[in-house]
Structure 1
Amino acid sequence: MSQISVVFHSGYGHTKKVAQSIAQGATAQLIEIDNDGEISEQDWETLNQSDAIIFGSPTYMGGPSWQFKKFTDATSKIWYNRGWQDKLFGGFSVSASLNGDKQVTLILLQTLASQHGGLWVSLGQLPSSSTAATRNDYNSLGGSVGVLVQVPSDADADAIPSGDLKTAEAYGKRMLDIVNRFKK
């Protein structure tokens, strides 16, 4: 059986809700980075044993949260020993603005995966870009590198558009399918 982990930081609950949608689609284990930028030793072992790791962070000021960045810096010993070499990786980000520089965060996550010698799994969905498209459609923000999610800064996690959550769950299913194909 494939093991997939979703490791994420969530400042206000929005990123956590998206992580849960991805995990549901991928039948993945959730690993939440705490507000001090830490995860447990057991969480590190889970990541080391995972076939795929999906990174998630809110986008603050054009990049991942400092808590997520602390986590990435803590992977340097794993990087040096090539501990995550050839794993599958993916990612997602949430911000309050439609653009909000989420793409920059995803590129940083993709770069982290590449530094670890990993293989990045793209979103694999066409954007909903017709005149009839709404925020309730799949991939309404037009991402390709990973899942992009937008929710207003003064709204709670329940205000995340259903299309963004459907996109996240479908991405989890895609990751699971690809991991299973690689394990054959």
Structure 2
Amino acid sequence: MKLSIVYYSQTGNTKKIAEVIKEGVEKSGNIQVKTMSIEDMDYKFLEESKAVIFGTPTYYATFSWQIKKWFDTCKECDLSGKLGAVFATENVLGGGADVAELSLIGHMLVKGMLIYSAGSSQGQPYTHFGAVCTKDGDEAQRDRARIFGERIGKKTLEIFD
């Protein structure tokens, strides 16, 4: 089973968190996971993935225009029926990551994805909309991102295995 982590990262912070989330997914079981920038996509792997986690830096309380452009122009990408999740990085606590995640989730719903955040159903740490890290995260934030990845991986296996 395959899971894609698709992100945009200008400074490298979002890429670093994508790799941390990948570590968590790999702990969840028999899933082949690949991180990829929207600028260097493996569309075959994406098409074969049962789940996709999208990551974005936060700009003015929304997700990056590069991710928005990708959603608007990637007509050949069929995301329908795939499990979807999101994560965001921000420069400062309270930088609008929740709003960015909700906006990104809206685009995913339009594409027909099934959205999962683990919410409070899995207990601490709670994930309301998706994982959030300030810059490349402190150790506690990176631990939460790893747990987030593991939970998304487990739910992918539960639904599609």
TM-score (norm 1): 0.76
User: Counterparts of 1:39-54 in structure 2 under 5 Å?
Assistant: 39-40=40-41, 43-54=42-53
For residues 93 and 127 of structure 2, what CA distance do their matches in structure 1 show?
11
Q: Following TM superposition, where does structure 1 have runs of at least 4 consecutive aligned residues deviating by more than 6 angstroms?
A: none
For residues 80 and 149 of structure 2, what CA distance do their matches in structure 1 show?
21
- The equivalent of 2:156 in structure 1 is 179
Match of 2:110 among 107, 115, 118: 115
5+ long unaligned stretches in structure 1: 127-137, 152-156
For residues 103 and 91 of structure 1, what CA distance do their matches in structure 2 show?
10
**Does the 8 Å contact 1:59/1:65 carry over to 2?**
yes
- The equivalent of 1:65 in structure 2 is 64
For residues 127 and 158 of structure 2, what CA distance do their matches in structure 1 show?
24
Q: Secondary structure of 1:89's partner?
A: strand
Percent identical pairs in the alignment equals 28
5+ long unaligned stretches in structure 2: 27-32
Larger radius of gyration: 1
1:31 aligns with 2:36: yes
Note the C-alpha offset of 1:125.
4.7
Note the C-alpha offset of 1:66.
2.1
For residues 11 and 177 of structure 1, what CA distance do their matches in structure 2 show?
30
For residues 22 and 91 of structure 1, what CA distance do their matches in structure 2 show?
11
Coordinate RMSD, CA, aligned: 2.0
TM-score (norm 2): 0.86
User: Counterparts of 1:1-184 in structure 2 under 5 Å?
Assistant: 2-27=1-26, 28-33=33-38, 38-40=39-41, 43-78=42-77, 83-125=78-120, 139=125, 143-151=127-135, 157=136, 160-184=137-161
| Count of aligned pairs between the two proteins | 154
